[in-house]
Amino acid sequence: MLKNTLKKIVSISLVVATMAAFTACGNKQNASTDGAKEKAQSATMEKIKKNGKLVIGTSADYPPYEFHKSTSGKDEIVGFDVEIAKEIAKDLGVQLEIKDMKFDGLLAALDQGNIDIIVAGMNPTEERKKNVDFSNVYYQAVQSVVVRAADKDKIKSIDDLKDKNVGVQKGTTQEDIAKNQLPASKAVALPKISDLVLSLKNNRVDAVIVELPVATSNVNANKDLLISDIKVKNEVDGSAIAVKKGSTDLLESINKTIDRLTKDKSIDKFVTDATNSVEVQ
């Protein structure tokens, strides 16, 4: 009697176990087909993985974000944007390649597929969002106005810049700031920050609008320049990374990296280190 009951229990358990195994199998199969559907890679992600490298576009005239530095005789592009890009590449499991170009050529380069992402202290403006997708903001900066130290007492307000030439980098939000917030001045848009600094030193422009960390780096390297008290406002807050529209998987990975680097305060460290490594004359 007891033997029989035991037998029954054993056989019932066997049936149950087999059924469970089958169901598990079935579930597994479903899960993997669903997963495959979800994991359909964007064209950019496919290219990055296939080539084993992430190609970033930047405009390396923007210390401490990105700038040229010669380390033991070798020219290198460094800066906190570069450090962030290295982490993004690391998390993707690929190498990093940097393409340096004019800021106003970056969006076209992304569109044409010459670069995979833009890391260039770029603000996520509504206008740009029509053509590209942006990551979460990874850094916030305020705007500043750089003038010649000799003009310290002469140029102290937006009014003092009436009819004067004000330099801005071409294709940047600083160009919008000049147009919207200094309408009585003449905006002079040049491709590189170095051109602007030179123009200011040579009296071709009387002020340059630029983000504060960049102003500080340039003023430290040029004792004949200083940051004025003139206040201009951000039109759009923060720097973000641009990707080709629809590269959702890539954007997700980038945002995860940014999130990690924000939480563990790495970005703050990258900014401090980059600021300290700008060559001061």
Binding site for ligand ARG (CB under 6 A): 58-59, 61-62, 65-66, 103, 120-123, 169, 172-173, 193, 211
Tell the smallest beta-carbon distance from residue 169 to ligand ARG (Å): 6
Considering beta carbons, is residue 233 or 260 the nearer one to ligand ARG?
233
Tell the smallest beta-carbon distance from residue 22 to ligand ARG (Å): 57
Q: Write out the two tokens for 145.
A: 């106005």
Considering beta carbons, is residue 158 or 168 the nearer one to ligand ARG?
168
Considering beta carbons, is residue 161 or 178 the nearer one to ligand ARG?
178
Burial class (CB in 10 A: 0-12, 13-18, 19+), 14: exposed
Considering beta carbons, is residue 45 or 193 the nearer one to ligand ARG?
193
Tell the smallest beta-carbon distance from residue 136 to ligand ARG (Å): 15
Tell the smallest beta-carbon distance from residue 194 to ligand ARG (Å): 10
Considering beta carbons, is residue 107 or 226 the nearer one to ligand ARG?
107
Considering beta carbons, is residue 45 or 78 the nearer one to ligand ARG?
78
Tell the smallest beta-carbon distance from residue 204 to ligand ARG (Å): 19
Tell the smallest beta-carbon distance from residue 32 to ligand ARG (Å): 42
**3-state secondary structure labels for all residues of the chain:** CHHHHHHHHHHHHHHHHHHHHHHHHHHHHHHHHHHHHHCCCCHHHHHHHHHCEEEEEECCEECCCEEEEEECCEEEEECHHHHHHHHHHHHHCCEEEEEECCHHHHHHHHHCCCCCEEEEEECCCHHHHCCEEECCCCECCCEEEEEEHHHCCCCCCCHHHCCCEEEEECCCHHHHHHHHHCCCCEEEEECCHHHHHHHHHCCCCCEEEEEHHHHHHHHHHCCCEEECCCCCCCCCCCEEEEEECCCHHHHHHHHHHHHHHHHCCHHHHHHHHHHHHCCCC
